[in-house]
Amino acid sequence: MRHLYILTVAIFVLSWNSSFAQIGSQKPINLSDPDEISYLQPKDYIIGGVTVSGAKYLDTEVLITISKLDVGQHIEVPSEATAAVIKDLMGQNLFEDVQLWATRIDGEHIFLEIRVQERPRLTRIDISGLSKSQTEEVNKRLNAGTGRIVNENLIQSTKNTIQRFLREKSFLYPDITISTVKDSIEANNEILKVSVDRNKKVKVGSVKFTGNEKFKNKELKGYLKGVKAPAWFRIFGPGKFKDDKYKEAKEKLVAKLQDKGYRDAQILKDSVYKLSPKRVGINLDIYEGPKYYVGNIDWTGNSRYTDSVLNIILGIEKGDVYSEEKIHTKLMGPTRNSDDISALYQNDGYLTFNINPIIKKIYNDTVDLEIQISEGKQYTINNVIVKGNDVTNDRVVLRSIYTKPGQKYSRELIMRSIREISQLGMFDEQKITPDIPSSTMNHEEGTTDIIFNVAEKPSDQVELSGGYGAGQIIGTLGLTFNNFSTSNFFKKDAWRPLPRGDGQKLSVRGQTSGKRYQSYSFSFSEPWLGGKKPIYFGLSAYTSSSSYGGFNYLTGRQMVADKDLNRIWMTGVTASLGKRLQWPDNYFQINTSLSFQRYKLQNYGDYFLFDNGTAYNISLTQEISRNSVDAPIYPTSGSHIRLSVSLTPPYSSWSNDYKSPVKETKYRWTEYHKWKFDSQWYMKVAGKLVVKTQAQFGFLGQYKGDADRSTFERFKLGGDGMQGFDFLQGSEIIAMRGYANGTIIPESTGNGGQNIAIRSGSPIYAKYQIELRHPIMLNDQATVFALAFAEAGNTWNNFKEVNPFKVRRSVGVGARIFLPIFGMLGIDYGHAFDPIPGIPSNNWKQNFTFSIIQNMGGF
């Protein structure tokens, strides 16, 4: 038996030596192949060299480092160390195969070779099933460059990225299939083929709550803003489910519960589960906790204002429901009326003011507070600097700013200054930012500089349009320069193409169809007459002529002599002076205008009270207004209220012309008193959604009851209101969408008076409007917003007929685009509900209306 054991060992040793003799004879052995080498008799060696073969893209030195094989290192072959080389390299997920070979043995030294087969590289990712824009966005997120390793990690990360992207778009359950195809051009390269079926967008199907005892499910659903289940009153159905909105809704829910006094309220857990391919259900487990109340409130650090004053401003008393949101708002603001503690201090010069509420004690259901105040020092303004106004002169901006050198710092006046700069219409409202550099703050003297950073935007506008109607082509060209400069008028270098920078406004406009109709107008305004006080000066003039009758509409030729045409000539000039008021507040302004107009008629029947002759209109207009809207183009808060009265001399009191039977003499001097009221209100209702409400009224009266009411200066209700003033008939146009221009006439108007009512207008009108607006784009290149509106209005012949609740109604949707060079462009679709008696339905309806509004603001 002993002899048999010795024989077996001898055979094994001979076979082992034979294997390594082969290595010595330059025949490599695969150390990772158990068929070529045995682990029963390992042997110690010194590594004489390590090489790597098969690596095309990877650094061989890095691979040797990962293998942990160093020249001069002792290693047992075969052993766990040689097996670890394979394990570590394969663990990098970069290779299809890794082998360790012994290429040569020289005495005690062994020479090793790591043979690798790299995984294929990515050529590109081809995605099908998505739109072009969606594919571009996904590729940006994937960072799908060539040369990446194609492995399970790449495939899974690609799938996850697409799923996250689609989830953001409310596609919660897409089908995504990914396969690889060998690249026929690049060796060892593959193309990732991704097929996407988005399936349906997912909406919220149900919302359920558990754990709530104090609050009903209906209340909690109301607090979960932005995530709603279907309901009969939601005519557009529930919104799409989106993760970001859902996360925000949960935060708002918890904040609302805490605002109700439940400061410990939280969502313990929630789940979103699939109800159907188009619906998900939401379960929320709520912890309400106890309801807390405010206890004692102690103030520390205040010396400028007493505790009693601060308590009045705070408006929170012992025993009130504890609301962290309300406490935070009343302490730090901002509040709508600046009635918070922070505003109290910062509007009084305390620039470095700081306030910190501390929960001092909680016992039972009561929370005691300590409010720590660091008042700092009162600061005065040293310098006011404007940066970014490359075209507009500094003085134009500085005179609009309410923060002046030498004044105490005031947060409220800075915000007012931002509004006033935006009202100039020359700068991007989104980029007006005040800055108080720390380097300009002198803490010892309590002074600081204020820098207003602005960005110029194109403010000049052009109107170029053409239209065809009534057998004629009408062309319009209008130019408005909103930053004109008369002070640079005689400076040659300032003409680029016109002198600019003084904030003056120059406008010229021409409209013509040839000989039949021509109209030209000019206006100039200076908001700071003399440059030192906000005294507005305006000068405008126009002339127009129009004729009809005696034309062949097919050829456009005149068939009768000029003296037989129906023609009207109108000429007018207006001068205005205005001033900002400081009482009742500095949002008020007053404006006085003196106007002269001449109307010359020739065979102009059915429009006015006389056919031939000349009439003159001299009127004095007094307007008082208050404008507190925050921005001229897309207001989100504030109001604009105007009341104006226009008066002519009471000629009928001393002139016998009004008793003349000759119409040309009787109506030579136009007399009337005209009253107008317009109020517009803007308010944010949810997120970026803004509601605009408006009410307008107008009345044209005569001084004597037995005198005929003027046929000039009347109101024409209906249409786009684009002209504002009808140069053809001397009437004022009031827009009302859904109805054709000027078709809303009094019901008491008989058939004989319809022409006068439609062409000349009505003496009394009322109009109401509510409009919901939501922005699509807000930047210096363009402002775009969508809107939905409801309007109501009517006209009457006298006060006895006036019923402000008996109106013609319309609803619709629209959009506005503000381009600096063109002004505000609008398109609306309106549906009118109430017919106009005596006018065929196809004549009084006008579903689509287009508008171009260049004057975006006022004095």
Which CATH number fits the domain that encloses residue 50? 3.10.20.310
The secondary element (H helix, E strand) that includes residue 653 is none
pLDDT of 473-487, one tens digit each? 778 888 999 899 998
Instruction: From 63, 183, 54, select the one nearest 121 (Cα to Cα).
Output: 183
* Residue pair 417/397 in contact by the 8 Å Cβ criterion: no
Give the full edge-to-edge strand order of the sheet including 189-197: 121-128, 189-197, 175-182
Instruction: From 201, 279, 283, select the one nearest 250 (Cα to Cα).
Output: 283
**pLDDT at position 97:** 84
CA pair distance 674, 309, nearest whole angstrom: 49
CA pair distance 807, 795, nearest whole angstrom: 8
Q: Is 626 a domain residue?
A: yes
Q: Is 625 a domain residue?
A: yes
**pLDDT at position 87:** 87
Q: Which of 197, 228, 255 is the last residue of a domain?
A: 197
CA pair distance 315, 327, nearest whole angstrom: 9
Give the full edge-to-edge strand order of the sheet including 366-374: 293-300, 366-374, 354-363
Q: Is 161 a domain residue?
A: yes
Q: In the structure encoding, which two tokens stand for residue 266, read together?
A: 């939280």
Q: Is 253 a domain residue?
A: yes
**pLDDT at position 696:** 97
What is the bridge-based pairing of β-strands 279-287 and 203-210? parallel
**pLDDT at position 628:** 93
**pLDDT at position 551:** 60
- Determine how many CB atoms are found less than 10 A away from the CB of residue 514: 11
Q: Are residues 281 and 181 in the same domain?
A: no
Assess whether pLDDT exceeds 50 at residue 856: no
pLDDT of 639-690, one tens digit each? 999 999 999 999 888 887 777 788 888 888 999 999 999 999 999 988 789 9
**How crowded is the C-beta side of 431, counted as CA atoms within 13 Å?**
17
Q: Are residues 773 and 665 in the same domain?
A: yes
Q: Are residues 762 and 642 in the same domain?
A: yes
Q: Are residues 369 and 401 in the same domain?
A: no
Domain carrying residue 438: 381-453
**pLDDT at position 65:** 87
What value does the mean pLDDT take over residues 271-287? 93
Confidence band of 411 (pLDDT split at 50, 70, 90): very high
Q: Are residues 363 and 398 in the same domain?
A: no
Q: Is 498 a domain residue?
A: no
* Residue pair 116/98 in contact by the 8 Å Cβ criterion: yes
pLDDT of 418-475, one tens digit each? 999 998 888 988 899 999 999 999 999 999 999 999 999 888 888 777 665 555 677 8
Q: Are residues 248 and 268 in the same domain?
A: yes
What's the mean per-residue pLDDT of the chain? 85
The rounded percent of the chain whose pLDDT value lies above 70 is: 89
Q: Is 488 a domain residue?
A: no
Q: Are residues 154 and 273 in the same domain?
A: no
Assess whether pLDDT exceeds 80 at residue 785: yes
Q: In the structure encoding, which two tokens stand for residue 849, read together?
A: 């209306």
Q: Are residues 827 and 731 in the same domain?
A: yes
Q: Are residues 44 and 80 in the same domain?
A: yes
pLDDT of 162-202, one tens digit each? 999 999 888 999 999 999 898 888 778 888 899 999 999 99
Q: Which of 81, 100, 118 is the last residue of a domain?
A: 118
663's CB contacts (< 8 A; 6+ apart) are 609, 610, 611, 613
- Report phi then psi at 10, rounded to 5: -65, -40
Distance of CA 217 to CAs 214, 267, 286, 287, Å? 10, 14, 11, 13
User: 307-314 and 324-332 helices cross at what angle (nearest 10)?
Assistant: 120
Q: Are residues 87 and 136 in the same domain?
A: no
Which parts of 648-782 are beta strand (E)?
673-686, 689-701, 715-717, 725-726, 731-734, 738-739, 764-778
Assess whether pLDDT exceeds 80 at residue 748: no
Q: Are residues 276 and 391 in the same domain?
A: no
Confidence band of 742 (pLDDT split at 50, 70, 90): confident
Q: Are residues 621 and 765 in the same domain?
A: yes
Q: Is 528 a domain residue?
A: no
Q: Which of 171, 197, 223 is the last residue of a domain?
A: 197
User: 80-90 and 60-67 helices cross at what angle (nearest 10)?
Assistant: 130
Q: Is 362 a domain residue?
A: yes
In total, how many domains does the chain have? 6
CA pair distance 576, 539, nearest whole angstrom: 6
